[in-house]
Amino acid sequence: MSHDWQAVPKIYDAVKNSWVSKREEVFDHPLKASTITVQEGKIKRRYGGSNTSSASSSLSNTPKKTVSDPLTTFHPLSSALDGIDPLSQFAAGLDPLSQMAEEHERAKEISASRKCRLDDTFEPWSTKKVAILSKYTTSEKLSIATSFLSGGEKVIGKAPSSVSDKVKTRLEQLDDFEEGSVKEMLNLTQQEYVNRIEELNQALRESWEQDQRVKALKIGIQSAKLLVDTAAIQFYPSKFVLITDILDNFGNLVYQRIHSKAEHHRPGSRNPTPLPEQFTPDQVPESAKETCRNWFFKIASIRELIPRFYMETAILKSYSFLTQGEYSKALVRLTKMIRGIGDPLVAAYARCYLCRVGMSVAPEAHEHLRDNFWDFLILYNQLQSNFVKETLIKQNLDYPTYLTLYPPALDWILQCVVYKASETVLKEVLHKCKIQCNSALLLNSVMSAFKPEYIAKRSLELVDIMKECDDLGFPKHLLFRTLGLCLVVADPPENERLQILNDVWKIVTKLKNSADYMSCAEIWIEYAVKHFSKREVNTFLGDIIRHMSPDRAFEQHYPQLTRVVDRILAHMHDFSVIFSMDKFLPFLDMLQKESVKVDVCKVIMDAFMRYQVETTCDPVIINAAMFICKTIHDSVNALTLDDEKRQIGVLICAFIRKISFGRDFEQQLGFYVEARSTFSNLDAALIQLVQCVNLLAMRTRQIVKGHHTRKTSSFVKACIAYSFITIPSLMDVFSRLDLYLISGQVALLNQCLSQADAFLKSAISLIPDSPLIIEVDNKHKSTEPYLLSYISNLLSTLLIVPDHPEQEPLYLIRGLLNVIQDYTWEQHNDTKVLVYLNVLNLLSALSQETYIWSIDGVDSNDALYGSDPKFISEINKICSTLIDEILAHLKFLGDRGNFKKQSYLALELLCHIVAHGDLSCNSLFTLSNNLWLLAHRHGHCDQKSAANCLSYVKVRASKGGPYQDLANKLQMPTQV
């Protein structure tokens, strides 16, 4: 059965005015707080706003009282005593004298904790360990001597029975270690050695947990003794890090053991409590002190110097249980003990360990720190002794490599010496360095340790010292690199900056080794960028190119060359200056490895995106940035990841948006044409270009205020042609759909009707190509919600598109309906019906004498047809066909038992008919009544939606006519 359709005529202005809400004047804001007052037994509510004068005067003479929550009413003294009587409060606490004593103890703890704390300017050892382990490696075979791995330990069978036997047994165990129970493991690789050391550390923890204290002590002694061995001398710094971890672990175990046994009584309290983290020796009981002394006595009985030194240093923190003033004396004594170590490398790292432990337990003690550094200076000549020379010959090691083993220890010692030190300390250190040895190694460590501000003030003096210092074994280029690192952090005096650069670069530019040269150049380029103009920076880049070009040396230094660009971009943000340097692009050409060059170009464009705030038309910037973006674009291939494509697209789009020629639209369009040919393989860039060209056409329309001249009309058509040519090259279907519709709307706004027709026709023809499922965040999602939204947008545009004179009426809408009919929709979704309902809205709007909106200069179908009966008849036929399709779908849902969806869609169709159909047509009136009954037939109707629909009908029924009759027929079913 076919249902005839007839749209109800609408005067949109009248409809709009009829639904405007009535306004009424108010005196109080509805969100203001209200106050309740009681007046002669009657409760009245008054809001926080001001009342009228009459209301205030009527209440002014009437007694009133404020009603408060009874739970908020307290006794007058409750606020002062918090609900507790004074005697109970006093009884619950301590007596005043005990409380004062406790507060005094707490103040002492806080003071001690503040004194022992290092601030953030002191770099902790943990941050240096990783760098040392990664730098100091070896391929030689290593050995380890221990009795605790692979069954090397002898078993003691007899258990001690008394205290004297226990002490005797422990001494025998120590003697047993001394007399040769140790086994040596040979031919270990570096990784095997590291694993064995970790096994020792684990064995130490397990022994301690099993209360085998002597065994744990023996493991610590054996570990410390490994630091005597310098067989694989290149590995010694890493060995030091691994072994001292074991010693630190041992020291912490001893400290925690004594701390756990030390319970004390707080003043005024009878119950023992554990020691706080920061305590004083007078809080420690005598038993815990005795245990502490026993540990020091055991370690003092170790015969060999190096194990005894390291073991005592490891448990140095435990001195806090005995006395407060012992740290400084012990540290000085241990410093003197190191003077007995003959090997200068072993002695240097022993000083490093002592300074490290000293800074952790007594950062306020300084005497031992300077003593250690002065001792190192005095004994510096030992580094060239016959013993060292024989060791190097034996291990086939050159002297420069040997000297590189010292910086970790020396840097740490100096860091401790200069911690919170004044500039006078630098002066004193430099003076002693020049007197004692004038060594490049020492000078390098001094510059690394002191604050860059101190170094910057004395930079010229330091340059002179560098020229004169002994560089035997330690290359001078490292000195200039370290100085450069200081000067990029702290600025030298302004009148010395150029002289410093000239003096340094006269020496650096003569370096023959490209690696030595680049290690300095990558640092000093930042100094030049910070303090000088583009001329000096350009000269600097030219010097780098000159050094790197012979024998293609740049291929060995891509990381350094990359950092040069990073440092330039960190301080130079004016890209007209950067790109105007004639050495900048040739510098980039040295990056001939594609991956490196692409990464650097990404960095440059990222900086351009962040720092180029204003748009530009500078040809220097455009040409250089275009070249860089082309390099990035050309790196995209079939194997490129989507995330990388997205990142590249963002950079190129940012570049496109930054280019503007102002009112010179033709040149702007020419730039977009060139960009299209350059970035043809990247969807994101092409989408951005189409959007920019559409914006260009709209700006043209804005300037001429919608009245195009012949010239502007031709330009707009050129823009539209650009879009029409570019869109088909996009890979993504949905991007093409969106751009076809947007470009069609732009063409329509610019009165290019045939071009708008072509865009819309292409959009309609592309809908069947859209996939049913897309993957978003690794999840499969249906595209039907997008298509429903897109088609709704398209329909709103089709309302004002005039019919082509050579085509049948409504040919675009008919084509769209054919596409919708043939498209494969998901059976469990109702998207197709919802689209039909939206088309029904459009056709109803097309039937009106005047459309709800229009475009200046474009005659839509309301002007072309003038409500011609034949045109209206064609619309009604299409509407009838749509209603039949929807009813057929409702029957299909009913046959399948899907009554909930059937109810929802029946009510939706009813709402559309009531809103847009003419109910004086009997078939529509009857259909409306039947749809209401169908929606409620199986009890699945949404009562709220049904009530809203009925309410709308009743509003329309107030004017009489068929709506009155329909309102009488539609009744909400009673709830059972």
Alpha-carbon Rg for the chain, nearest whole angstrom, is 44
| pLDDT score at 75 | 46
Are 680 and 729 a contacting pair, CB within 8 Å? yes
| pLDDT score at 50 | 44
Can you tell me the distance from the alpha carbon of 521 to that of 519, in angstroms, rounded to the nearest whole number? 6
Which residue is it, tokens 């029924």?
A: 957
Can you tell me the distance from the alpha carbon of 236 to that of 932, in angstroms, rounded to the nearest whole number? 91
**Strand, helix or coil for residue 826:** coil
| pLDDT score at 41 | 47
Strands (E) across 797-924 are located at none
Kind and range of the H or E run holding 898: none
The pair of three-digit structure tokens given for residue 869, joined into one six-digit string? 């009966």
Are 29 and 865 a contacting pair, CB within 8 Å? no
Note the pTM of the prediction, 2 decimals.
0.74
| pLDDT score at 266 | 61
Which residue is it, tokens 């329509």?
A: 748
Kind and range of the H or E run holding 43: strand 42-47
Q: Which residues contact 919 (CB under 8 A, 6 or more apart)?
A: 8, 913, 925, 928, 961, 962, 963, 966
User: If 0-12 CB within 10 Å is exposed, 13-18 middle and 19+ buried, where does residue 393 land?
Assistant: exposed
Can you tell me the distance from the alpha carbon of 378 to that of 366, in angstroms, rounded to the nearest whole number? 19
User: If 0-12 CB within 10 Å is exposed, 13-18 middle and 19+ buried, where does residue 548 land?
Assistant: buried
| pLDDT score at 151 | 44
3-state per-residue secondary structure call for 1-41: CCCCCCECCCCHHHHHHHCCCCCCCCCCCCCCCEEEEEECC
| pLDDT score at 719 | 96
| pLDDT score at 86 | 53
Listed as ranges, residues in the chain with pLDDT below 50 are 41-83, 89-94, 107-116, 151-163, 167, 171, 174-180, 976
Are 379 and 347 a contacting pair, CB within 8 Å? yes
CA angle 707, 713, 717 (to 5 degrees): 135
Can you tell me the distance from the alpha carbon of 782 to that of 246, in angstroms, rounded to the nearest whole number? 60
| pLDDT score at 52 | 41
The pair of three-digit structure tokens given for residue 495, joined into one six-digit string? 């009148």
Farthest CA pair distance, the chain: 124
